[in-house]
């Protein structure tokens, strides 16, 4: 790659856009692993054709155009990535048998460290965070791929309709029509995310500290107190989802393999602009190993939603340790 000066230029100029391209591909695909593959493909395609890049648009726009087309091609052979709540079944009871469907391509979370906004502008950081919210990514999965692309390019990246039309080889009239349909469908699929008022930083820290303490102690009453009355808990690849604080408490009490205090440990992280944890379970040798990765949605009145991801590859993606050191049982909290 390094022999051609133009190619050296390309790598130097294009590399700063890697994070936002990853976020873009993730919004399109709902999978951090697929998004990483598509970003690699985007850079390869762009590098090969860089000598034909005439600079009529910015390099950033050109890269997003290539990435969007690569994602649309990839989506031709892939089904949408749901969360259990998106399967259409009613809320399950905590006593129901857990049904696992590992063959379903489930939605995945994305680490903030990989796709967060590279800026110090508070408004831009908030906007980037909101555009990666788990609820929004799940709702986008309900849209056909072209609608998804139009909505993301127009409403997230703020492209002009003419620019989007060029990417999709269509007219601005068609783009505006697709955008109208996409917004209407998103309004039906998306929860009332705008109505969720986030707690203040101090309240949020206190709520998250209580969450860690309640789980590490397996304090069911304490766990129930953290959730709003209509809170939702889901945990792909298990197909059930559970509504209501008491129902969630019973689920954790009866279905979670932790026997009591000290069996679980939580390591904080950030996913989709939201608080998240690597949850580790103590084994027979007292070593803690990855169990799942919960991503939390908070409101001023408590936790409204938790999605626990059991795909253990995510621990490496999030830079979380493979194990946590053994902790003698008599030292457990």
pLDDT value, residue 4:
60
CATH of the domain at 237: 3.10.450.50
Confirm whether 67 is domain-assigned.
yes
pLDDT value, residue 55:
79
Domain boundary among 56, 78, 100: 78
> pLDDT exceeding 90 applies to what percent of the chain?
80
Confirm whether 182 is domain-assigned.
no
**Backbone phi, psi, residue 289, to 5°:** -125, 155
**pLDDT tens, position by position, 300-309:** 999 999 999 9
Confirm whether 46 is domain-assigned.
yes
Region 273-281: what's the mean pLDDT?
Answer: 97
Report residue 24 as tokens.
Answer: 């873009």
Confirm whether 316 is domain-assigned.
yes
Confirm whether 111 is domain-assigned.
no
Q: What angle do CA 231, 226, 95 make, to 5 degrees?
A: 55
**Backbone phi, psi, residue 232, to 5°:** -120, 140
Is this prediction's pTM over 0.85? yes
Confirm whether 37 is domain-assigned.
yes
* pLDDT > 70? residue 74: yes
Specify the higher pLDDT residue, 51 or 27: 27
Domain boundary among 51, 78, 105: 78
CATH of the domain at 17: 1.10.1740.10
* Spatial CA neighbour of 211 closest among 240, 233, 191: 233
Q: What is the mean pLDDT of the chain?
A: 91
Report how many domains make up the chain: 2
Report residue 101 as tokens.
Answer: 């469907």
Domain boundary among 30, 56, 78: 78
CB atoms within 10 A of CB 313: 12
The whole domain housing 32 covers 1-78
Specify the higher pLDDT residue, 194 or 278: 278
How far, rounded to the nearest angstrom, does the alpha carbon of residue 67 sit from its chain's CA centroid? 19
- Which residues, 6 or more positions from 103, have their beta carbon under 8 angstroms from its beta carbon? none
121 confidence band (pLDDT: 50, 70, 90): confident
**pLDDT tens, position by position, 100-120:** 999 999 999 999 999 866 666
Confirm whether 195 is domain-assigned.
no
| H, E, C per residue of the chain | CCCCHHHHHHHHHHHHHHHHHHHHHHHHHCCHHHHHHHHHHHHHHHHHCHHHCCCCCCHHHHHHHHHHHHHHHHHCCCCCCCCHHHHCCCCCCCCCCCCECCCCCCCCCCEHHHHCCCCCCHHHHHHHHHCCCHHHHHHHCCCCHHHHHHHHHHHHCCCCHHHHHHHHCCCHHHHHHHHHHHHHHHHHHCCCHHHCCCCCHHHHHHHHHHHHHHHHCCCHHHHHHHEEEEEEEECCCECCEEECHHHHHHHHHHHCCCCCCCCEEEEEEEECCEEEEEEEEECCCCCEEEEEEEEEEEECCEEEEEEEECCCHHHHHCCCCCCECCCCHHHCC
**pLDDT tens, position by position, 76-104:** 999 899 999 999 999 999 999 999 999 99
Radius of gyration (C-alpha) of the chain in whole angstroms: 22
Confirm whether 212 is domain-assigned.
yes
* pLDDT > 80? residue 205: yes
d(C-alpha 289, C-alpha 325), whole Å? 9
């Amino acid at each position: 790659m390094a022999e051609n000066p133009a190619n050296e230029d390309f790598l130097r100029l294009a590399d700063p856009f890697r994070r936002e391209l990853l976020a873009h591909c993730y919004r399109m695909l709902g999978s951090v692993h697929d998004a990483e593959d598509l970003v690699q493909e985007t850079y390869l395609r762009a590098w090969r054709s860089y000598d034909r890049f005439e600079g009529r648009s910015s390099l950033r726009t050109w890269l997003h155009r290539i990435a969007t087309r690569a994602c649309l091609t990839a989506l031709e052979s892939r089904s949408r990535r749901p969360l259990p709540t998106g399967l259409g079944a009613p809320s399950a009871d905590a006593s129901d048998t857990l049904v696992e469907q590992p063959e379903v391509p489930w939605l995945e979370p994305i680490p903030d460290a990989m796709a967060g906004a590279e800026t110090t502008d508070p408004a831009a950081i908030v906007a980037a965070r909101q555009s990666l919210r788990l609820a929004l990514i799940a709702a986008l999965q309900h849209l056909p791929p072209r609608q998804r692309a139009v909505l993301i390019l127009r409403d997230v990246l703020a492209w002009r309709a003419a620019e989007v039309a060029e990417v999709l080889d269509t007219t601005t009239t068609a783009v505006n029509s697709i955008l109208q349909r996409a917004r209407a469908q998103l309004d039906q699929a998306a929860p009332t995310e705008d109505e969720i008022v986030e707690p203040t930083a101090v309240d949020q820290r206190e709520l998250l500290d209580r969450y860690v303490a309640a789980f590490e102690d397996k304090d069911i009453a304490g766990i129930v107190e953290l959730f709003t009355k209509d809170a939702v808990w889901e945990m792909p690849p298990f197909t059930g989802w559970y509504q209501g604080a008491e129902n969630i408490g019973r689920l954790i009490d009866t279905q979670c393999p932790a026997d009591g205090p000290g069996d679980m440990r939580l390591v904080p992280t950030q996913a989709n602009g939201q608080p998240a944890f690597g949850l580790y379970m103590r084994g027979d040798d007292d070593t803690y190993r990855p169990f799942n990765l919960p991503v939390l949605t908070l409101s001023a009145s408590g936790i409204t939603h938790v999605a626990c991801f059991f795909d253990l590859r995510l621990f490496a993606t999030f830079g979380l340790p493979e194990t946590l050191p053994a902790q003698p049982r008599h030292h457990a909290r």
